[in-house]
Structure 1
Amino acid sequence: MQLSRSLSVAYAVFLLLAGITAGPSHAAGALPKLAGTWRVERITDTDIATGKVVYPYGEQPKGYIVYDPTGHLSVQIMRTPAVRPFASGDDAAGSDAEVRAAYDGYVAYFGTYEVDAERGVVVHKVEGSLMPSYTGTDQPRPFRIEGDVLTIEGDSDGVHFLRRLKRVR
């Protein structure tokens, strides 16, 4: 009995350390592959009709998407170059234009995620966001992983979006 209990505990610890989770909302094998910290490398939006490429967070954005092994996520991305400090020197006393520039130059949200490996989609289930319209929504993201590169890519409302991230080791 003691040996059986010890083996069960050892197996549970192994699964935790290996980043393996099981649950009805996650496709087998997909969650551990996606779990980790991913550094933003490139973000582009391309107008499908004109082919015009836009860099919504600059040509060298900074940020991370963290998918943890329990099914939680955090997204933090900022524009580069970064927004300059407010002229007043007080973050709580920026002008309307300064506050708008800071808001437009940053995206942040958190929640949980589910992976549909057969469709190649991760759904971000947003619990809280800097953007009020995101809170309480599901945000499907077509994705693929090639080595240490995560690509989130698809089409929406006449725009082809591309988010390329690299796994942090």
Structure 2
Amino acid sequence: MPLPDNALHGGWRLDSFVARDDAGHTRYPLGRRPRGLILYTGDGWMSAQLAPDPSGGADEIGDYIAYGGRFHVDAAAGTVRHDVVMATMPDLIAQPQLRQYEIDGDVLTLSATMTDDSGSTHSTLVWRRDSDPTERR
């Protein structure tokens, strides 16, 4: 049964960001304890901010990432499309960012597979609903 379109609404804190390539190698692009926040509003806007593990150890991305724009949910397909209008990484603006999503209680999993000349990488970001804005992790 598909989730209602508003199931994404609210704020979510990043728990993990893991990337796996075709060969089965696992990487942590922002380190093992990345920081991040993603917001989905009731009027169709989204904003994401991601930062590397403050203790270091980021595999690939060493800088702060931020982007925002409109979002559209296809609950039947389990996808959310981010139509990015501003970003610290210009590549995110080039085309809509399509993500598979799954919500299990207060956990949101966003995933995508990217393919280039070197093969495919499947990235999974796990977010936890931030119901208490005073709580710090």
Comparing both structures, which one devotes a greater share of its residues to strand? 2
In structure 1, the residue matched to 2:64 is 106
Matched, 1:80 2:53: yes
In structure 2, the residue matched to 1:168 is 130
- Where 1:133 maps in the other structure, the secondary structure is helix
Deviation at 1:117? Answer: 0.6
Matched, 1:44 2:18: yes
Report if the CA contact (8 A) 1:128-1:136 is conserved.
no
Q: Aligned residues, how many?
A: 122
Q: TM-score, normalised by structure 1?
A: 0.67
Match among 20, 23, 29 for residue 4 of structure 2: 29
Please tell me the residue identity of whatever aligns with 2:18. T
Please tell me the residue identity of whatever aligns with 2:9. A
- Where 1:137 maps in the other structure, the secondary structure is coil
Deviation at 1:52? Answer: 1.1
Partner Cα distance (1:133, 1:140) in 2 = 14
Comparing both structures, which one devotes a greater share of its residues to helix? 1
Partner Cα distance (1:105, 1:82) in 2 = 13
Partner Cα distance (1:29, 1:81) in 2 = 36
Q: Please, what is the CA RMSD of the aligned residues? A: 1.9
In structure 1, the residue matched to 2:134 is none
Partner Cα distance (1:124, 1:137) in 2 = 9
Q: TM-score, normalised by structure 2?
A: 0.82
List alignment gaps of at least 5 residues for structure 2. 132-137
Deviation at 1:48? Answer: 1.9
**More displaced 10-residue stretch of structure 1: 158-167 or 132-141:** 132-141
Partner Cα distance (2:94, 2:113) in 1 = 22
Match among 126, 145, 152 for residue 103 of structure 2: 145
Deviation at 1:82? Answer: 6.1
List alignment gaps of at least 5 residues for structure 1. 1-26, 84-102
